Every structure is written in structure tokens, then in C-alpha cells.
């Protein structure tokens, strides 16, 4: 039997990443394209469809893959057919992406939250497939979260479980991209770090924030702000493993040890504090695309998997 190929896609507000993933989760023909003009146009789905067709023409000699799997920085409905809401991309609200693309290409199309794909990749990378509870925290522009229980991604009644970035934080008052005020994402995210930079350290580039100011009170408070939602979820789930990823922990001189100490300070004693296992994701542009491929193979294997 021929090796199946999935077209994995990781679609963000700035870039869209494409790649072909085979049954051994090997990636080929990885491409990054800007998305700005896609989300400015009247019909972004038509434009993404054309980009997919052009990619298949170039890399598959015009043939189609066995399935398409697309990650969005969004909430997705429980059936995993509809992009329901996207805080940072206005054009991506309530769109039946899977139906649209299946009508266009006549092959299975799967969609999910981009952070779920990142965690599927990290579970593979760290050999955690047999662990019962794994929590993923992706600290980037927003505060991404994914929860895997018994090999399944936590879905919830409406498909919107694990929106950790939108738990309310006492004392936080800023407007969040979701429309609420005071979400964790307004204090524990790259957006917050940029605000600290512009308010307090305007002469420091964002890249040098930790190198130059890691011991200043505003930065220590920021790190503690990251640790609170993480520790909260760890205290709820008592996980086998925690994965921390995203762009912020990868910044030069990020105070990783202080973050771990802050998380530990808020954990219930003696457990889960005593034996919490934290692993780090190595953020590469390809991770979400490979994760999209892993997800599609799981869906092709089992009708119940979501």
C-alpha cells in the first residue's frame, strides 16, 4: 500500500505554513507564506483554497494528498468542522472551514486549535504517548494551552476546553482580544511584555528585555504572572508531564529558573509540587505542521478521535 500523505497546515495571523507529512511523521516540502493579504480580502477561504491548489500543483504534480489538516489560532466547534472565534484575526469568525474545503477538494479535511497540534508534536518528540495526563503551555503572543488525557485532546461540551488564556485574573483590567476584561492573556503573554517594554524600557528592544532587565521588579512580576495560570492548571490536573513552549521562553536570557520557582511556589504541597516533571518544547516553525499530520492520521485511524 502506498504511503499516505497529509497536507499539514498551520495558519496564523502573520504566516501560513504548509508541509507534507507521511505515515512516519516525516515532513517534506515545508513552505511559509505571509497571510496578511489572505485575511484582508473579502473571502479568505477562497484565497486559502487557491493557495492549497497552487501548493499541490507545485509539490504533488497537481495530485491531492490523502487528507488536509489545518490548525488555527482559534476556538473550534465540538464537531471539529467550524472555526468559531479567533481573538487576533478578525476575518476568522464562525466559518465552516472543513465543509468548505471538503466541497472544494473532495478529500477529508480536519481542523483543530493550533496549540493542540503543537502539543501532539511535543508528545511525539518527548515520547509521551503512553502518559495519562499531559499539559501544554505555549507562551507567545497569547497564552496557549492544550490538555491531553489518556491520549485524547480535552474537548469540552462545546469544543472550547483548555482556554487557559481567558481565565479571569483578579486585579487585571485590560481588554482582551476575546472581548472580556482582565483575562490571563492580558497579563501573561507577549502582548503584556510589549506593553512593559513600551511603558518602562522604551530604549530596550523587545529581544533584549530579559538580557537587560531580568532582575527588575516589572519583569519578575511578569514571570510570576506567567506562573499563576500554569500552577493553577497543574493543581487541578496533577499531570504526569508539563510541556512549556512558545516564543517567550526561547528569548535570550529568559529567567527559566525563576519561572520554575514561581510555578513551584504556587503548587500544592507536598504533591504535585514534589515531583512535577517539566519538559521544554523546541519551537520550530515546522512543529505545528507535523502536529497537523499526526492529528489527521489519528482521525483516519479512528472515527471517534477528535
> Which of 5, 70, 101, 178 is in the footprint of Zn ion by CB under 5 A?
178
How far apart CA 146 and CA 117 sit, in angstroms, is 9
Decide: residue 151, CB within 10 A, 0-12 exposed, 13-18 middle, 19+ buried: middle
Q: Would you call 84 exposed, middle or buried from its count of C-beta atoms within 10 A (0-12, 13-18, 19+)?
A: middle
When computed from its CA atoms, the radius of gyration of the chain, rounded to whole angstroms, is 19
Using the minimum distance from each CB to Zn ion, give the nearer residue, 128 or 164.
164
Could you give the CA distance from residue 31 to residue 37 in angstroms, rounded to a whole number? Answer: 17
In the bound complex, what is the minimum distance in angstroms from residue 146's beta carbon to Zn ion? 17
183/276 with CB nearer Zn ion: 183
Residue whose CB is less far from Zn ion, 56 or 183: 183
Least distance to Zn ion, CB of residue 142, Å = 9
Task: Give the total of residues touching Zn ion (CB under 5 A).
Answer: 5
Phi-psi region of 88 (alpha: psi -120 to 50; beta: other; left: phi over 0): alpha
Closest CB to Zn ion among 152 and 180?
180
Give backbone dihedrals phi and psi of 65, rounded to 5 degrees, phi first: -75, 180
Q: Give the separation between CA 98 and CA 266, rounded to whole angstroms.
A: 41
Q: Which is nearer to Zn ion, 17 or 113 (CB)?
A: 113
Q: Which string of DSSP letters, residue by residue, matches 133-198?
A: EEEEEEESSSEEEEEEETTEE---SSS----GGGSB-TT--PBPTTS-BSBHHHHSSHHHHHHHHH
CB of 61 to Zn ion, least distance (A): 44
Residue 258 contacts residue 223 (beta carbons within 8 Å): yes
Whose Cβ is closer to Zn ion: residue 85's or residue 250's? 85
Is 184 a residue that touches Zn ion (CB under 5 A)? no
- Report the half-sphere exposure of 51 (CA within 13 A, side-chain side): 23
Does the protein bind Zn ion through residue 162 (CB under 5 A)?
no
Q: How far is the CB of 182 from Zn ion (least distance, A)?
A: 8
Within residues 97-116, the interface with Zn ion by CB under 5 A covers: none
Cβ–Cβ under 8 Å, residues 98 and 82: yes
Q: Does 187 bind Zn ion (CB under 5 A)?
A: no
Among 67, 98, 169, 176, binds Zn ion (CB under 5 A): 176
Instruction: Name which position in 83, 183, 223, 230 contacts Zn ion (CB under 5 A).
Output: 183
Q: CB 114 → Zn ion: shortest distance, Å? A: 17
d(CA 182, CA 152): 30
Does residue 91 belong to the site contacting Zn ion (CB under 5 A)?
no
Segment near Zn ion (CB under 5 A); pick from 76-84, 158-166, 189-197, 229-237: 158-166
Q: Interface with Zn ion includes 5 (CB under 5 A)? A: no
**Looking only at residues 24 through 53 of this chain, which bind Zn ion when binding is defined by CB under 5 A?**
none
166 scored as a contact of Zn ion (CB under 5 A)? yes
Identify which of residues 178 and 209 has a Cβ nearer to Zn ion in the complex: 178
Residue ranges binding Zn ion (CB under 5 A): 166, 176, 178, 180, 183
Amino acid at each position: 500500500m502506498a504511503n499516505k500523505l497529509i497536507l499539514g497546515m498551520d495558519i496564523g495571523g502573520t504566516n501560513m505554513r504548509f508541509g507534507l507529512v507521511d505515515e512516519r511523521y516525516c515532513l517534506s516540502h515545508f513552505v511559509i507564506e505571509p497571510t496578511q493579504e489572505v485575511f484582508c480580502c473579502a473571502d479568505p477561504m477562497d484565497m486559502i483554497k487557491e493557495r492549497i491548489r497552487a501548493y499541490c500543483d507545485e509539490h504533488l504534480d497537481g495530485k491531492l494528498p490523502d487528507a488536509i489538516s489545518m490548525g488555527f489560532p482559534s476556538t473550534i466547534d465540538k464537531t471539529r468542522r467550524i472555526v468559531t472565534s479567533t481573538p487576533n484575526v478578525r476575518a476568522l469568525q464562525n466559518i465552516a472551514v472543513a465543509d468548505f474545503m471538503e466541497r472544494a477538494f473532495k478529500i477529508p479535511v480536519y481542523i483543530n486549535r493550533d496549540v493542540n497540534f503543537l502539543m501532539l508534536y511535543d508528545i511525539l518528540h518527548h515520547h509521551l504517548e503512553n502518559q495519562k495526563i499531559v499539559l501544554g503551555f505555549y507562551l507567545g503572543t497569547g497564552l496557549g494551552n492544550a490538555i491531553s488525557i489518556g491520549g485524547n485532546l480535552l474537548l469540552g461540551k462545546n469544543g472550547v476546553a483548555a482556554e487557559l488564556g481567558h481565565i479571569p485574573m483578579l486585579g487585571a483590567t485590560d481588554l482582551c482580544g476575546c472581548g472580556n476584561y482582565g483575562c490571563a492573556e492580558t497579563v501573561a503573554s507577549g502582548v503584556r511584555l510589549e506593553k512593559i517594554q513600551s511603558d518602562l524600557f522604551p530604549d530596550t528592544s523587545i529581544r533584549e528585555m530579559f538580557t537587560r532587565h531580568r532582575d527588575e521588579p516589572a519583569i519578575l512580576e511578569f514571570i510570576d504572572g506567567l506562573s499563576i495560570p500554569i500552577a493553577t492548571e497543574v493543581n487541578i490536573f496533577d499531570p504526569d508531564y508539563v510541556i512549556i513552549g512558545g516564543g517567550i521562553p526561547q528569548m535570550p536570557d529568559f529567567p527559566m529558573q525563576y519561572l520554575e520557582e514561581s510555578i513551584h511556589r504556587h503548587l500544592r504541597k507536598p504533591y504535585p509540587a514534589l515531583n512535577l516533571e517539566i519538559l521544554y518544547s523546541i519551537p520550530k516553525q515546522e512543529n505545528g505542521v507535523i502536529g497537523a499530520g499526526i492529528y489527521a492520521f489519528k482521525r483516519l485511524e479512528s472515527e471517534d478521535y477528535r
